Amino acid sequence: MQDKLVALVTGANQGIGLQIAKELTEHGYTVLVGSRSLEKGENAAQNIGADAHAVQLDVTDSDSIAAAAERIRSEFGRLDVLVNNAAISHAGEPGRSLEEMMNSSKASTASLDEVRAVFETNVFGVIAVTQAMLPLLRDAPAARIVNVSSGVGSLTLNSDPAFPYRAGFGVVYAASKTALNAVTLSFAIELESTNIKVNAASPGFTSTALNNFQGTETVEQGARNPIRVALETDGPTGAFTGPNGPLPW
């Protein structure tokens, strides 16, 4: 087992995941850059530096997940932080506007195939990766699981007519983040007597490929809250936070 702390970030070849991976290396971590495409992961790791290593990881593929877990155990011997960042906003062609994504997400007309595809990555993928990495995390002295969520998944916020993003609360992306929050709390409750803290962290409305770069925050700004939660060894468990503090479930 190596002495340096080890973090795995899924979907880390671009966007917020890439920024999180970069900043974790700056905090002294060996960072495993999870990427569906090994080539893209290797390019990202090379750009980050010597403390970053690409790991082929498709969160929707059980064989890929199992292989990644085995490689981490055999090559690095430990895992201290898991950042479940990989996510998709829709299953259609790239370049959709926010309006198009909102329209395709309406409960009355949404494609069930698209709902399934988004949940496969954003919800089921998180469960599968977390389950596979738990044996490694249980061996760490102070492990953290950070699920990158979104304020648009908050049922409390969306039940308020004054919430500015309420019109976009559909059954595709937003509902997948609501489900992710439930998954986060479920793991946190089960693991609250262990060495593992489990939290949901929203980056805010960040400009990435997820929203066709229509967000208002930079990736540097978006990475701040997930990084803070990932580094907090003495922080809470079962919490949901955003850039400005706690968020309601």
Cite the active site residues.
173, 177
List Cβ neighbours of 107 (8 Å cut-off, separation of 6 or more). Answer: 170, 171
Contact 95, 211 (CB under 8 A): no
Please calculate the CA angle 71-179-126 and round it to the nearest 5 degrees. 5
Radius of gyration, alpha carbons of the chain = 17
As given in the structure block, the two tokens for residue 191 are: 């693991």
As given in the structure block, the two tokens for residue 122 are: 């954003």
Q: What are the helix (H) ranges across 27-140?
A: 38-48, 62-71, 98-104, 112-119, 125-138
Between the CA of residue 144 and those of 60, 130, 167, 200, 204, what are the distances in Å?
Answer: 22, 11, 33, 11, 21
